[in-house]
Structure 1
Amino acid sequence: MTLADEQARTAALLDRLAAIGADPPGITRHAFDERENAAHALAIAEAARLGFEVTRDAATNLYLTWPGTDRAAPRILLGSHFDSVRHGGNFDGAAGVLAALAAVSTLRAEGFAPRADITIAAFRCEEAVWFGLGLIGSRAALGMLPPDALDRRRADTGLTLAEHIARCGGDPAAIAPGRRLSPAGPIRCFLEAHIEQAPSLIEAGLPLAICTGIPGNIRHAAIRITGEHAHVGLPRRFRHDAALAGADLFTALDALWTGEEAAGRAMAFTIGRFHTDTTKHEITVVAGDFTLSLDLRAYDATHLAALEQRLHAIVAEVATRRGVTIDLGPRNAAPVGPCDPALQASLAAAASRIGITTMPLGSPASHDAANFAAAGIPTGLLLIRNANGSHNPREAVDPADLMAAAATFAEWLRAEAAA
């Protein structure tokens, strides 16, 4: 079995995943639902082919384990996720699970024997679009799920996260903060491969990057601005315009980003929802209600905390100036995920030994790997070149680049995990 054989097998699996998720104009693999279940079934079939052990935890995260010669040794954990955003692409998350499968399949065909267990994980519900909270599966696996998470409802079904987990065969009653669900015993490290969600590798002309860190984020999914509905002819000095207050927030945050970027402090913010109340808005009505969402992120915990303070100052200033009230609503946060320096070096060396040129690069996006890093588990992340961005139907990964990630993992395991 060669890597070329694995490339053909992986391409066929990607085609089957695309068929599972087909939702023109893109791909939708709903979290904790039939399509994510079907993706897990594909991975289970691969585990059966390879003779690996298959287990699930109470949150229905999937673990495929190649037993080592020393079952008590700290396991090596690799993985990513299968769910997608609505009408997204076929590679976000799935490429990481398939790269790990291709790596271990190659090693098994070579007759490689691992000393410790090697486990491939497919975590549930990485995308925040489903329950307004991201990285749910890996948070649950590590005992990091917020106490209110199980009561969150999926917007399209109206069912709670607990109900969805139970429908998939899980046990929501066993999920609690501080209770680890992932496979028993120590974890030596967690490795993930993920498509890059910016064009940095396209720009650099390289197939892979060794990630240096994953940003933490603060999210407010439903910021509510309340002013006063009024006649279109009302003079400016009498208005309490919620829409203009929303615009002020947007432009103030953009000015903040511009200043931080000029000072060399990496950050980003995204406003994905930005709208008046569709049941009340009219062309001749000053908007008294406005709703927006906010994702604020940075690579350093202290910097992120300072940015949140700036956010609150901006909110207070806009509310006073526009004569409105601004309710930020529920706050969610994901930790900053620094990648382990030793793993960065050894992954880069593994790639170099097989002729793959890489570069160091911070991830612009959150990943399950961030939770492992925050839990104190050494974490490494490979970023795979991807054209046309992510979270859209035009995601485009060259199969050779995906195999470069698989080959790098395989070479790393040869050097680090032999019996």
Structure 2
Amino acid sequence: MLLNALQDETLETLAARLFEDIRALSPDREGVNRPAFSETETRVLARLAEFAERCGLSVEEDAGRNLLFSLPEDADAQSWVLIGSHVDSVPMGGNFDGLAGVVAGLIVLIRAARGGHRFRRPVKCIAMRGEESAWFGACFLGSKMLTGRLPPDELTAPHRGDGRSLEAHLQTLGIDTAPVSAQQSTCDLARIETYLELHIEQGPLLVERGLPAAVVSGIRGNFRYPLIRCIGAAGHSGAVPRAYRHDPVLAFAELMHRLDTNWDHLLRTGRDLVLTSGIVGTEAESHAISRIPGELRFSLDIRSQDCGVLDEMRRYLHMQMEDIAKSRGVRFETGAELAVAPALMDRTVLAGLDAAMERTSGAAFTMASGGGHDAAIFAQAGIPSGMVFVRNRNGSHNPAEAMEIADFMVGTSILSTYLEAGE
């Protein structure tokens, strides 16, 4: 049973107070700062454990020093539905990215305990460490460790602050790194029947549509070029006629125009795609208002849920680069490509969440996730996975994250309805 001191508080009040308690434990100059595998992260987990125990939940720690919460009667279950997210954040980040998924899992458990409900299958909530790439240059470290999918080069990656390797930080926490190094899972994956994750939306779609929540159909994969060089020929801005120019700026502009036109076409034909060039610039040491630049550098990030679309865009990109290089007398050097496969959510889980949202909100709404999440790692490990997004203004990874508790409770109700009704 829940302790009397907390029994009289509404679920909304409990959630709001827990969010504020965690915010106070992890302040930054602006927003919050919960570094992966840090003492701050450990303090946050301890606060979550204290809260869960006060609410009458069982608490255990796994081999990766993540926390698992459950109803007491489900603590020794042979298998379970796992629900949760990560607790770390980026520097000067928002308080809800990751944490909302953990608090949602706790609220789902507390709601069941208060109402005397039984889940169709045992449920455990996980508070995971180490999802953000800000600290060791790679993301999903905690879930990769849990599923045995952490590459060796990520185990040796240096911390952005102290330069010590991830392995050294894990050992400081008392985590046995031998299984991690051998790419062995730190738990018995066969015991996880399904993975569910609630997360704030990191874009504007739900805000623009006036919806409190959505079911996620899949997590976009991507291919990226961190630094593409478009190399032309420098010249005087007033002395070189158009016919004799090898202008990398115009070549880049033409490439982006062609990519944007194709993006629009794909969307109009029902395909899924987003593309971004977030880094663009000429050489600061040599560029000038009266100089045709000799080189322009830019990044390119192309994402889709559809592997076919990614392959099509990859071919289209290189074909357009080749054509523009010939017509404008420049050359493109892409450098190494980085790629991540899409992760589609399980169809049965997706249908169940859609039905739960319809029962909870009157209508279902499904959307793709542009950002990556731990759910992708579980899905790629063969665990049926599903996600719920909650409306959030001002994006994420910044102090201005603005999730409303009322919207958060809609998201938790979808999860509760799904878990109590069964798949």
TM-score of the alignment, normalized to the shorter chain, above 0.5: yes
TM bracket, shorter-chain basis:
0.7 to 0.9
User: Residue 145 of structure 2 contacts residue 183 of structure 2 at CA under 8 Å; is this kept in 1?
Assistant: no
Give the corresponding residue for 1:349: 355
Match of 2:409, as an amino acid?
M
* Deviation (angstroms), 1:141: 2.0
Q: Pick one of 199, 203, 206 that aligns with 1:198.
A: 203
- Report Cα offsets for 1:59-100 as digits up to 9, x if no partner: x44433445559464311011122333433222221111111
Give the corresponding residue for 2:417: 411
2:38 & 2:142 partners in 1: Cα distance?
Answer: 13
Between Structure 1 and Structure 2, how many residues are aligned? 415
Deviates most, 234-243 or 90-99: 234-243
Give the corresponding residue for 2:10: 5
- Report Cα offsets for 1:179-232 as digits up to 9, x if no partner: 222455422111111112233323333322122222122233344556667776
* Deviation (angstroms), 1:167: 4.1
1:407 & 1:74 partners in 2: Cα distance?
Answer: 23
- When residues 252 and 182 of structure 1 are mapped into structure 2, their CA distance, relative to the original with a 3 A threshold, is farther
- Report Cα offsets for 1:37-66 as digits up to 9, x if no partner: 3333332323433342322334x4443344
- Report Cα offsets for 1:98-141 as digits up to 9, x if no partner: 11111112222334455754222233333344444333322332
Q: Pick one of 230, 253, 276 that aligns with 2:259.
A: 253
Q: Pick one of 327, 336, 352 that aligns with 1:329.
A: 336
Alignment of 1:152-167 (within 5 A): 152-167=157-172
Give the SS at the match of 1:257: helix
Give the corresponding residue for 2:271: 265
Give the corresponding residue for 1:75: 80
* Deviation (angstroms), 1:14: 1.3
Give the corresponding residue for 1:43: 48
User: Residue 339 of structure 1 contacts residue 373 of structure 1 at CA under 8 Å; is this kept in 2?
Assistant: yes
Give the corresponding residue for 1:213: 218
Deviates most, 395-404 or 303-312: 303-312
Give the corresponding residue for 1:110: 115
User: Residue 212 of structure 1 contacts residue 338 of structure 1 at CA under 8 Å; is this kept in 2?
Assistant: yes
Match of 1:121, as an amino acid?
I
* Deviation (angstroms), 1:356: 5.7
Alignment of 1:114-129 (within 5 A): 117-129=122-134
- When residues 338 and 48 of structure 1 are mapped into structure 2, their CA distance, relative to the original with a 3 A threshold, is same
Give the aligned CA root-mean-square deviation in angstroms: 3.4
- Report Cα offsets for 1:134-161 as digits up to 9, x if no partner: 3332233222333432233444544443
User: Residue 55 of structure 1 contacts residue 62 of structure 1 at CA under 8 Å; is this kept in 2?
Assistant: yes
User: Residue 236 of structure 2 contacts residue 291 of structure 2 at CA under 8 Å; is this kept in 1?
Assistant: yes
Deviates most, 346-355 or 254-263: 346-355
Give the SS at the match of 1:27: coil
Q: Pick one of 106, 110, 115 that aligns with 1:101.
A: 106
- Report Cα offsets for 1:349-376 as digits up to 9, x if no partner: 3344455644222333322112222222
Give the corresponding residue for 2:367: 361
1:157 & 1:226 partners in 2: Cα distance?
Answer: 37
Alignment of 1:159-178 (within 5 A): 159-176=164-181
Give the SS at the match of 1:23: coil
Give the SS at the match of 2:369: coil
- When residues 25 and 210 of structure 1 are mapped into structure 2, their CA distance, relative to the original with a 3 A threshold, is same
Give the corresponding residue for 2:303: 297
- Report Cα offsets for 1:375-411 as digits up to 9, x if no partner: 2222121111222333333221110111122223233
User: Residue 223 of structure 1 contacts residue 292 of structure 1 at CA under 8 Å; is this kept in 2?
Assistant: yes
Q: Pick one of 316, 335, 344 that aligns with 1:310.
A: 316
Give the corresponding residue for 1:146: 151
- When residues 13 and 69 of structure 1 are mapped into structure 2, their CA distance, relative to the original with a 3 A threshold, is closer
- When residues 282 and 125 of structure 1 are mapped into structure 2, their CA distance, relative to the original with a 3 A threshold, is farther
Unaligned stretches of 5+ in structure 2?
none
User: Residue 187 of structure 1 contacts residue 377 of structure 1 at CA under 8 Å; is this kept in 2?
Assistant: yes
Give the SS at the match of 2:309: helix
Give the corresponding residue for 2:58: 52
Give the corresponding residue for 2:403: 397
* Deviation (angstroms), 1:261: 1.9
1:398 & 1:286 partners in 2: Cα distance?
Answer: 50
Compute the TM-score of the two structures, normalised by the length of structure 1. 0.83
Q: Pick one of 281, 289, 314 that aligns with 1:275.
A: 281
- When residues 209 and 316 of structure 1 are mapped into structure 2, their CA distance, relative to the original with a 3 A threshold, is same
Alignment of 1:379-394 (within 5 A): 379-394=385-400
User: Residue 57 of structure 2 contacts residue 70 of structure 2 at CA under 8 Å; is this kept in 1?
Assistant: no
- When residues 163 and 407 of structure 1 are mapped into structure 2, their CA distance, relative to the original with a 3 A threshold, is same
User: Residue 71 of structure 2 contacts residue 113 of structure 2 at CA under 8 Å; is this kept in 1?
Assistant: no
